[in-house]
A = this chain, B = another copy of it.
């Protein structure tokens, strides 16, 4: 059975954001602060390094009962028993990944407009990652999407949408108000001095938004 996923506070790893913490220390603090989903992104590493880090993150995520998604690398996802994979437009086609992994595996797809969103839905994606909603300094080449386009993407599909790119505790509410099920967050959590408190702030904003809507 496909696992039930809470997309509200979706941490995406980036070691370049860290201020004096190891990746595992930072992720554990975020897990303690209440992230609901974890994505491991290990671009530019060897497969062996990615595997080793993913094994460690899987053990940590399991401890906090938070699902782990692997960016791009379906083989690493399978190797560590991750809940799923996140596929960008430059990664394996969603349909191909689905044919390898079966129906219970979570496949997320990056969609930058309603056309890509509808295509991903047709290809069997479980959720979409859409951005960059705001200016982001973690992916320098990412074009800006904006909240209005995010809302259009959310309206165009029947699967969960997660906003990504430049999302922080100040603008997170706008992402939820646009119809997104949550936000993929990188530097606003991993770059914080107090990672647990930074994560808890997102948790608080999410809970408040849910109560009013």
- Expressed in whole angstroms, the Cα–Cα distance for A96 and B52 within the complex equals 12
A90 closest partner in B (C-beta): B46
Tell me whether A49 is interfacial, beta carbon within 8 Å: yes
Copies of this chain in its oligomeric complex: 2
Interface pair B48/A96, CB less than 8 Å apart: no
Q: In this assembly, does A76 line the interface, its C-beta being within 8 Å of a C-beta of chain B? A: yes
Chain B residue nearest to A79 (CB atoms) is B96
Q: Are B90 and A47 in contact (CB under 8 A)?
A: yes
Q: Provide the bound-state CA to CA distance between A93 and B79, in Å.
A: 9
Q: What number of A residues sit within 8 Å (CB to CB) of B?
A: 20
Distance (whole angstroms) from the CB of A94 to the closest CB of chain B: 11
With beta carbons under 8 angstroms apart, the residue of B48, B73, B75, B91 that contacts A48 is: B91
Asked if A46 meets B91 with Cβ closer than 8 Å, knowing A51-B96, A96-B51, the reply is: yes
Query: With an 8 A cutoff between CB atoms, is A74 at the interface?
Result: yes
Q: How far in angstroms is the closest Cβ of chain B from A20?
A: 28
A72 at the interface (CB under 8 A from B): yes
Q: Does A92 contact B (CB under 8 A)?
A: yes
Determine if B92 and A48 form an interchain contact, defined as CB atoms under 8 angstroms apart.
Answer: yes
Selected contact of A75 from candidates B46, B49, B89, B100, CB within 8 Å: B100
B residues in contact with A79, CB < 8 Å: 74, 92, 96-97, 100
Chain B positions within 8 Å of A100 at CB level: 75, 78-79
Considering only residues 57-83 of chain A, those with a C-beta below 8 Å from chain B are 72-76, 78-79
- CB-CB under 8 A from A72, the residues of chain B are 47
- Tell me the chain A residues, 82-111 only, with Cβ under 8 Å from chain B: 89-93, 96-97, 100
Contacts of A78 in B (CB 8 A): 74-75, 100
A174 to chain B, nearest CB (A): 31
Complex A-B: 17 CB contacts under 8 Å: A46-B91, A47-B72, A47-B90, A48-B89, A48-B90, A48-B91, A48-B92, A49-B90, A51-B92, A51-B96, A73-B75, A74-B75, A74-B78, A75-B75, A78-B100, A79-B96, A79-B100
Q: Which residues of A contact B (CB under 8 A)?
A: 46-49, 51, 72-76, 78-79, 89-93, 96-97, 100
